[in-house]
Amino acid sequence: MNEENIKPDLEDVIDAFMMEDDPGGKSLERYLHLFPQFAVELLDFAREISAIPDYEGGTVSDGDELLIAAAWTRHVETVPAGAVDPLGSLNPLELNQLSAAFDLPRQVFLALRERRVIASSISDSFLRLLAERVGCKVHRLVESLNEPPRLAMGVSRKSEVKPAEPQKVTFAQILTDSEIEPGRLAELISGE
Amino acid sequence: MEGLPDAEQVRQCEVLSSDSPEFVPTECILYLVRLRREHPPTDVTFEKLYAILLRRVLTQLPHPDRSGINQERAVDVEIREQVLEQFAILMAKDREEYNERLDFFEIRFQRGIAKLRATAIRNAVKLARRYTNLDGVQASGDMSKCEESQLETSDPINFEKLDEKSYRMRYFDAIVHLPDHLRVVIEMIRQGIPFESKKPNVVSISDTLGKTPKTVREYGKEAVRTLQALLAEEQE
């Protein structure tokens, strides 16, 4: 563990100690010297590590099986973040709110929702602000944007000609098509 | 293991005894469960592997009926429930979004559980202490001058006997009931750390706790007296 210039967090210190080859003796003394404020937790943890062999042959009761079943029920109630499309789930009102917040035409966010934008052409700062607005992590937003484009909602399907698969374009192109004035466009692309 | 059919994966993971040649390390089971972290609840193998994993957690915890007299120890019940809950929370957070803290468990599972156990024991004992009076433990009186001097040079609690499992379990059961400031001193004595040291690179109890050598020696005496009384009480 690099002990320099780090404001120690108890969890991080204990996790690092957990990975020591020999979590006793000299390692323990070194951690006590570096992190005396965590002496209680370090010593308790070192004692519990030494007790590990005493738990060999542990058993599970019928009552434990009920606890396990309850834990499973709660576990699968958690919705994986990957199951939620951060932009796809936005309703028209929320799209309007985004448009107002960023002072950009609604069609920009429609293009983003339809994944017609090349994610790597969007500045980090814009992605960060957008992720914050829709309440998700940046990497999750990027993952979603990198998925294949989807057909626009409400597109008429009465044509006899199969619609062409939408192509992804750069963010600059989307902004140009939305008639954003050049100065503002440059700012949005550069991220300033 | 990943390439095996689901039913075979489950069968092999169900082996609970580490003495068995078919025993699958818990780190592997955790890895298999995390591979399915975004799977729906209808995935039967996911459910079975999750249950097997939690059974492995429970085997690393004090069993409430370990006294063998069919009387549950309230503290052990509390520890068991707390650790299981904390581990389940880590797993749920991982299902929601990849949780790096579980990576440590994939490398050293037993130590990860030991970490949760240490915290749960501290919390459970503090909770129990609200309902019991440690002052009720009759300390064995003041130490003689001879015993005081032996505090630093010999083994006041017979730490050598900790190699014996039965004594070790009694010691561990007793020591968790000491207040933090006494427990930390007795554990440092057990680790052979001196009360004080003039050398800057030598860890000492007084430097670690930020107390004078005289104060930590007093703590040490009180810790030894109280622990001896607790061990005597356990024996009765």
Q: Dump pLDDT digits (tens) for B197-230.
A: 988 889 999 999 999 999 999 999 999 999 988 8
For residues B82 and B30, what is the distance between their CA atoms, to the nearest angstrom? 19
* Candidates B48, B184, B185, partner chain A, best to mutate (most A CBs within 10 A): B184
- Contact residues for A13 (Cβ-Cβ < 8 A; gap 6+): A1, A31, A35, A38, A41, A42
- The encoded tokens of residue B69 equal 């007299």
**Short-list B111, B125, B134, CA closest to B172:** B125
3-state class (DSSP) for residue A106: helix
Q: What is the DSSP letter of A117?
A: B
Pick among A13, A37, A75 to test the B interface (most B CBs inside 10 A): A75
Contacts of residue A39, Cβ cutoff 8 Å, sequence gap at least 6 = A32, B184, B188, B208, B209
Asked if A52 lies within 8 A of B111 by C-beta distance, the reply is yes
Among residues of chain A, what percentage have pLDDT more than 70?
86
Query: How far, in Å, CA of B226 to CA of B110, rounded?
Result: 31
Return the percent helix, strand and coil in chain A, to nearest 5: 60, 0, 40
Check CB contact of B89 with chain A, cutoff 8 Å: no
User: Which residues partner with B188 through β-bridges?
Assistant: none
Q: What angle do CA B136, B226, B206 make, to 5 degrees?
A: 135
Q: What chain B residue is nearest to A32 in terms of C-alpha separation?
A: B208
What is the pTM assigned to this prediction? Answer: 0.71
Euclidean distance between CA atoms B113 and B85, whole angstroms: 12
Tell which of A29, A62, A139, A141 to mutate to test the B interface (max B CBs under 10 Å). Answer: A29
**Å from A189 to nearest chain B CA?**
29
**What distance in Å separates the CA atoms of residue A70 and residue A74, rounded to the nearest whole number?**
6
Q: How confident is the model at residue A79 (pLDDT cuts 50, 70, 90)?
A: confident
CB contact B73 to A (< 8 Å)? no
Residue B135 has pLDDT above 50, yes or no: no
Task: Say whether B114 sits in a helix, a strand or coil.
Answer: helix
* Distance of residue A90 Cα from the nearest chain B Cα, in angstroms: 20
Tell me which residue of B195, B205, B161 sits closest to A28, measured CA to CA.
B205
Using the Cβ of B200 and the Cβ atoms of chain A, whether some distance falls under 8 Å is answered with no
Find, among A123, A124, A173, A113, the residue nearest to A149 by Cα: A113
Secondary structure (3-state) at A65: helix
Q: How far is B214 from chain A (nearest CA, A)?
A: 19
> pLDDT: is A127 or B62 the higher one?
A127
pLDDT category, B69, cuts 50, 70, 90?
Answer: very low
Angle value at C-alpha B191, between B164 and B226, nearest 5 degrees: 75
Range in A4-18, A115-129, B104-118 the model is least confident about: A4-18
- CA nearest neighbour of A145 among A125, A172, A127: A127
**pLDDT tens for each residue of A137-182:** 888 888 889 888 876 555 555 556 666 667 899 999 999 999 999 9
CB A112 within 8 A of CB A145: yes
Gap between the Cα atoms of B50 and B45, Å rounded: 8
State whether B175 and A47 contact (CB < 8 Å).
yes
Say which of B88, B115, B191 has its CB closest to residue A45: B115
